[in-house]
Amino acid sequence: MRASSVSKPSRLFAACAVVLALSATGCFRSITSTPGEAPNLEKWVAEVKARPAPPLDPLPVMQQFETFEYAAQDLRDPFSTAFTDEDSGSGVRPDKVRRKQPLEAFPLDGLDMVGTLGTGKNIVALVMAPDKVTYRVRPGAYMGQNDGRVTGVSEERIDLVELVPDGAGGWLERPASVALEDQ
């Protein structure tokens, strides 16, 4: 027996190709057919157009809102500056025209007392700032960022009074101190 020159998978492939080509031709023919050839389609379109439209959903009910009338014209304005005016009232206030001293550029907890010079009423404290510069401090000098005025200098510490805002437009005096750093 002689073997055929065409294998079985090749024959199967050729048969599938022929079937595919014929079905594609049929699809093409149905797409390009004339209106006279598709009476069922025209009939169906006419039926769909003749159907009545479905009813619309009812409109949603609008919610009634309660009205509010603002009647506080004669009350104090909460945004006015009546209580935060710099010139009104008495009490302590920061001096806006005073020239700032070098130690007022640093927070109080960043300043370290490293020693003293002199004795008695002529004592001067030595304070090292975060910029590693040592400054001399006497009573009446200012240090810290809260307008801290030095009230006293001793061999162990520097006493001062800071001005802090009280939250209502005024200022409060708060005592503070910087102690000698233990070596």
Report if residue 55 sits inside a domain.
Answer: no
Distance CA 181, CA 183 (A): 6
State the pTM of this model: 0.51
CATH at residue 130: 2.30.30.830
Q: What is the CA radius of gyration of the chain?
A: 48
Indicate the number of domains in the chain: 1
Range of the domain at 150: 103-179
Q: What is the pLDDT along the chain (183 residues), one digit of tens a residue?
A: 455 555 677 888 888 888 887 777 765 555 555 555 677 888 899 999 999 988 999 999 988 888 888 788 788 877 776 555 454 455 788 888 899 999 999 999 999 999 999 888 889 999 999 999 999 999 999 999 999 999 999 999 999 999 998 888 888 999 999 998 775
Report if residue 64 sits inside a domain.
Answer: no
Report if residue 168 sits inside a domain.
Answer: yes
Report if residue 43 sits inside a domain.
Answer: no
Report if residue 158 sits inside a domain.
Answer: yes
Report if residue 157 sits inside a domain.
Answer: yes
| Greatest C-alpha distance within the chain | 134
> Is the Cα dihedral 122, 128, 129, 132 positive or negative?
positive
